[in-house]
A and B are shown apart, each in its own frame.
Chain A
Amino acid sequence: MTNLFVRKATGLVRSWSVFDAFVYAFFSINLITLGLYSFSQMYYFEGGMINALVISAIFIFFEVVVYAGLIAVMPRSGGDYVWQSRILGGAVGFILAVTGWWFILWLWVPLYGDMFRHIVLVPLLGILGAKDVALWFAGTENGSFVASLITLAIVSVFIALGMKTYARIQKFSFYGGMLGLLIVIVLFLTGSNAAFKSGLDANATALFGAQPGVYDATVQLGTDAGAITPFSGGALLAIFLVMPYMVFFNLWPNWGATLYGEVRGATDFKRNVTGMGWALGATTLLGILLLYSIGRTIGWDFYVQAGAAWWNYVWGYTDVAPALPVWPYPALFAAFLTSNKLIQFVVVALMSLWWFGWCGTVFLSSTRVIFAAAFDRLLPEKVAEVDGRTGTPINALLLMVVPSIIVAFMFSYNIASFQSLTLCSTLVIAVTYLGTTISAIILPYVKPDLYKASPIAKYNILGIPLITVAGVIFGGFLVFLLYQWILDPNALYGIGIKNTSSVIYMLSMYVLAAIIYFGFKSYRKRSGIDMDKVQAEIPAE
């Protein structure tokens, strides 16, 4: 029976495809870039990798519920910035949004650049026979910095092309990347450890000039570096201590959540949960399968030891260079199982699509936040200008690119121990998520009319709104992560109060955000605009 009559009116569209939402979220928690990069760094934990992968995914599912719930109550509103501004106030909303969606992305640029050289440049150049260039990129500070500059150039081109074109690039990259991953997994599942050992020794020597006996030397270096992380198992506390590192990879299924459009009913809420939830679930399962297949052929211990040998040297804990002079990239290892150069190239090229389909995310969200702040007059009007001919937001892009070059320079040349700040990239965004999560927890109580008129009003657990319950669980998880990162009682993460550089870097971002907010607020007030009133709710009676 009819329960709603709609008339012809602008904007009455049908629901978007769950699959499209899935692809975006799937690429945001990118198994090959973020996943393999962080797994290789997690060599010194006592908790099982698989256990941490699964348990963290369970907690992050509640993040999916929180964000899907907020989208349902306040759709198309601009995400964290607007949610927090409306519930927690303008200052909190601005400071947490610009630090989490703009400033901290400067640090992500050298990280994207680092992944670019290890996943795309070095293996492809090696297979193509450009050994010296490959090694220059893999092992020098200049190579690291240039990789970041190339990353910036590629991302800027994607911004200039616009979201519509990039969304299509992403979809192509999804299919190509999945094909590459399928080949990698098949190569691992059909290969043998003996074939891998001989393939590694032969190819590492031929492609990258490694000394013979790479396998055994890597085992030794990795063991000396303290490589112990088990594939699975471990005490519960030990597993929980793996998670502050694991979330560098999988905390982001909500990354494109604010784009998913108008939610007009419970069905659309479920579609959001389904799109992001399936992405989280599928990535977790794929992660288990990939790590299992790596362990089966490469050997789990060798995989962890290779990561340890690489990072122990990069982080400066030893002067002994790794026997394998390139980052231990599992897709490259899979390619070593065949001696056919064309197949090697195709496998690594397809796998590089995981990076190309993902890298645009570093600036796309940032430009949106910069625009929103400019429209709210908390930044100069100029920053929201768009070039008339190309449609490129030139000034917003400069606000991303210029500081990123400085941060990338400091990262590549490890000035002020910047290479130890990797997890700050996750911490600052987690603080922003915590602000949003607190907004979600209190939303039904501070905005009861808004909540009651939303499609999620009927979802309760023991009489408590689902969004509140999910928020408390995910918020608790975030508090645990922040406690571990900031106080770091077991000295596992290298940031927080024990790392002066990280404290200064993060605090200066919050201070800068506060200066911009209160500075512009004061400036606007002098010119007749009361920002408190601009963001305050008008009485409706």
Chain B
Amino acid sequence: MTKIFFATDIHGSDICWNKFLNAGKFYGVDVLILGGDMTGKAVVPFIHQGGNNYKVTLLEQEFSITNEDELTDMKKRVRSRGYYPYLTTPDEIAELEKDRERVHRIFVQEVLKVVQQWMDLADKKLDGTDMKVYCSPGNDDMDEVDEIVRSSRRVLLVEGLVTPLDSHHEMIASGWSNRTPWDTHREEDEDQLKVRYEAMISKLKDPRNAVFNIHVPPYKSGLDEAPELDKDLRPVLAGQALKPVGSTALREVIEKYQPLLSLHGHIHEGRGATRIGRTLCINPGSMYEQGALLGAIVALGKNKIENYVLTTG
């Protein structure tokens, strides 16, 4: 029996990454799998005011930093929400407001810096252990992330690959999603997704005993319920109106091949587990902003799931 721990959508949270690396020992599992969307969504400027003074606005609250300790504390606070602190000046901010391309470059620079730190930390923490760590960046993760993950000694990039988990179980993985209103880095039409999935599935020895680690959840699985948005991306009816936004192509291949297990993320509020035929589908959800690592522990037996539970770490 192989025990896996799956978490996803940690969006740049240092706390969640640390917890993820510690989860193997904490829960006593053999394999750690990180679904997609490792990277954060916002850069927070620390605007230099002269001397040791900075002005920072976090969650619409303005903070005045007056010394090194406060600066360190505020950087930690920003990072705890998965955002990236960026030391800058009023002049640079004025330039950035006019230059979106430069903002993008800063984003890439800050995101990759943190991903590199995470890989270094993983290599350091997991050296000398048997823990296997697999990762497949999600639709919110820029392409450049792959190269850094690939350079890690202990974290294996599994996007598009068939990966043996043990002698009985193989895993396919992809962070690509169907189209979203945000035009993110890794999204494509359903027919292209289907080609992507079929290409991986065709290489599996036994699809019925496989794990599908696919970032987007299957359509109408209950794991893909997101607030309905109006044309201005505003939730309608106070967020009460939910609609399924998962992938129809994924649902088709799950129904067709009936793998043992499918693991998903993407929709943070879609936490749950459900069955499509014999396939156990899990989306552990995400509460990365609060530093809580939501996950799932699954015990894989031969031709069956021995046990599973969703965790709140």
Residue numbers of A with Cβ under 8 A of B are 1-17, 20-21, 23-24, 73-77, 82, 85-86, 162-164, 166-168, 171, 256, 259-262, 264-267, 275, 371, 375-377, 381, 384-386, 391, 449-450, 452-455, 457-458, 524, 527-529, 531, 533-541
Interface of A is mostly: loop
| Residues B18 and A541 in contact, CB atoms below 8 Å apart | yes
| Residues A528 and B310 in contact, CB atoms below 8 Å apart | no
Q: How many residues of B contact A (CB 8 A)?
A: 85
| Residues B43 and A266 in contact, CB atoms below 8 Å apart | no
| Residues B240 and A9 in contact, CB atoms below 8 Å apart | no
Known contacts A167-B237, A540-B15, A5 near B96 by CB under 8 Å: yes
| Residues B19 and A538 in contact, CB atoms below 8 Å apart | yes
| Residues B238 and A21 in contact, CB atoms below 8 Å apart | yes
Q: Which of A8, A386, A528 contacts B299 (CB 8 A)?
A: A528
Closest to B37 in A: A10
Q: Is B116 an interface residue (CB 8 A)?
A: no
- Given A9-B37, A14-B235, A162-B242, 20 additional A-B pairs, CB 8 A: A1-B47, A2-B93, A2-B96, A3-B62, A5-B86, A10-B37, A10-B139, A20-B236, A74-B287, A75-B289, A256-B238, A259-B239, A261-B239, A262-B289, A266-B59, A375-B310, A386-B222, A450-B291, A528-B306, A538-B26
Closest to B110 in A: A5
Q: How far is the CA of A17 from the CA of B290 in the complex (A)?
A: 24
Q: How far is the CA of A260 from the CA of B234 in the complex (A)?
A: 12
Closest to A458 in B: B61
Known contacts A6-B42, A168-B237, A529 near B307 by CB under 8 Å: yes
Q: Which of A9, A17, A256, A260 contacts B41 (CB 8 A)?
A: A9
| Residues A5 and B45 in contact, CB atoms below 8 Å apart | yes
Q: Which of A9, A82, A86, A166 contacts B140 (CB 8 A)?
A: A9
Min distance, Cβ B89 to any Cβ of chain A, angstroms: 12
| Residues A8 and B184 in contact, CB atoms below 8 Å apart | yes
- Count how many pairs of residues, one from A and one from B, have CB atoms less than 8 Å apart in the complex: 213
Min distance, Cβ A540 to any Cβ of chain B, angstroms: 5
Min distance, Cβ B264 to any Cβ of chain A, angstroms: 13
As a 0/1 sequence over residues 257 to 276 of chain B, the CB contacts with chain A under 8 angstroms (1 = contact) are: 00000000010110111110
| Residues B290 and A73 in contact, CB atoms below 8 Å apart | yes
Closest to B106 in A: A5
Q: How far is the CA of A452 from the CA of B61 in the complex (A)?
A: 11
Point out the residues of chain B lying under 8 angstroms from A375, CB to CB: 271-273, 310
| Residues B237 and A171 in contact, CB atoms below 8 Å apart | yes
Known contacts A10-B140, A10-B184, A454 near B237 by CB under 8 Å: no
Min distance, Cβ B77 to any Cβ of chain A, angstroms: 5
| Residues A164 and B234 in contact, CB atoms below 8 Å apart | no
Known contacts A6-B41, A20-B236, A86 near B292 by CB under 8 Å: yes
Q: How far is the CA of A130 from the CA of B96 in the complex (A)?
A: 74
Instruction: Identify the 7 closest CB pairs spanning chains A and B, nearest first.
Output: A265-B60, A3-B57, A20-B238, A538-B313, A261-B239, A167-B237, A455-B59
* Best-buried of A3, A10, A531 by chain B (most CB within 10 Å): A10
| Residues B93 and A24 in contact, CB atoms below 8 Å apart | no
Q: Which of A164, A260, A275 contacts B241 (CB 8 A)?
A: A164
Closest to A22 in B: B238
Q: Which of B61, B104, B312 contacts A7 (CB 8 A)?
A: B104
Listed by A's residue number, 22 A-B pairs whose Cβ atoms lie within 8 Å are A5-B86, A8-B184, A10-B177, A10-B266, A11-B182, A15-B234, A16-B236, A164-B228, A164-B241, A167-B237, A265-B59, A384-B273, A384-B274, A453-B80, A454-B59, A529-B309, A534-B309, A534-B311, A537-B313, A538-B293, A540-B18, A541-B18
As a 0/1 sequence over residues 81 to 110 of chain B, the CB contacts with chain A under 8 angstroms (1 = contact) are: 100001000100110110000011011000
| Residues A164 and B242 in contact, CB atoms below 8 Å apart | yes
Known contacts A10-B140, A16-B238, A540-B22, A261 near B227 by CB under 8 Å: yes
Q: Is B243 an interface residue (CB 8 A)?
A: yes
Q: How far is the CA of A89 from the CA of B86 in the complex (A)?
A: 37
| Residues A259 and B139 in contact, CB atoms below 8 Å apart | no
Q: How far is the CA of A539 from the CA of B299 in the complex (A)?
A: 22
| Residues B240 and A167 in contact, CB atoms below 8 Å apart | yes
As a 0/1 sequence over residues 170 to 191 of chain B, the CB contacts with chain A under 8 angstroms (1 = contact) are: 0000000100101111000000
| Residues B81 and A453 in contact, CB atoms below 8 Å apart | yes
Known contacts A7-B107, A534-B309, A540-B18, A260 near B291 by CB under 8 Å: no
Q: Is B165 an interface residue (CB 8 A)?
A: no
Point out the residues of chain B lying under 8 angstroms from A7, CB to CB: 41-43, 104, 107
Min distance, Cβ A75 to any Cβ of chain B, angstroms: 7
Min distance, Cβ A413 to any Cβ of chain B, angstroms: 36
Q: Which of B81, B93, B242, B291 contacts A540 (CB 8 A)?
A: B291
| Residues A164 and B240 in contact, CB atoms below 8 Å apart | yes
Point out the residues of chain A lying under 8 angstroms from B37, CB to CB: 9-10
Q: How far is the CA of A76 from the CA of B307 in the complex (A)?
A: 27
Point out the residues of chain A lying under 8 angstroms from B140, CB to CB: 9-10
Point out the residues of chain A lying under 8 angstroms from B220, CB to CB: 391
| Residues A259 and B240 in contact, CB atoms below 8 Å apart | yes
Point out the residues of chain B lying under 8 angstroms from A524, CB to CB: 309
Point out the residues of chain A lying under 8 angstroms from B266, CB to CB: 10
Min distance, Cβ A101 to any Cβ of chain B, angstroms: 16
Q: Is B300 an interface residue (CB 8 A)?
A: no
Q: How far is the CA of A391 from the CA of B310 in the complex (A)?
A: 22
Q: Which of B60, B185, B311 contacts A266 (CB 8 A)?
A: B60
Q: Is B204 an interface residue (CB 8 A)?
A: no
Q: Is B135 an interface residue (CB 8 A)?
A: no
Q: How far is the CA of A381 from the CA of B222 in the complex (A)?
A: 14
Closest to A541 in B: B18
* B49-93, CB < 8 A from A: 56-62, 77, 80-81, 86, 90, 93
Q: How far is the CA of A334 from the CA of B111 in the complex (A)?
A: 66
* Best-buried of A17, A23, A82, A162 by chain B (most CB within 10 Å): A17
Known contacts A375-B310, A538-B22, A541-B18, A14 near B45 by CB under 8 Å: no
Q: Which of A14, A167, A262 contacts B234 (CB 8 A)?
A: A14
Min distance, Cβ A309 to any Cβ of chain B, angstroms: 40
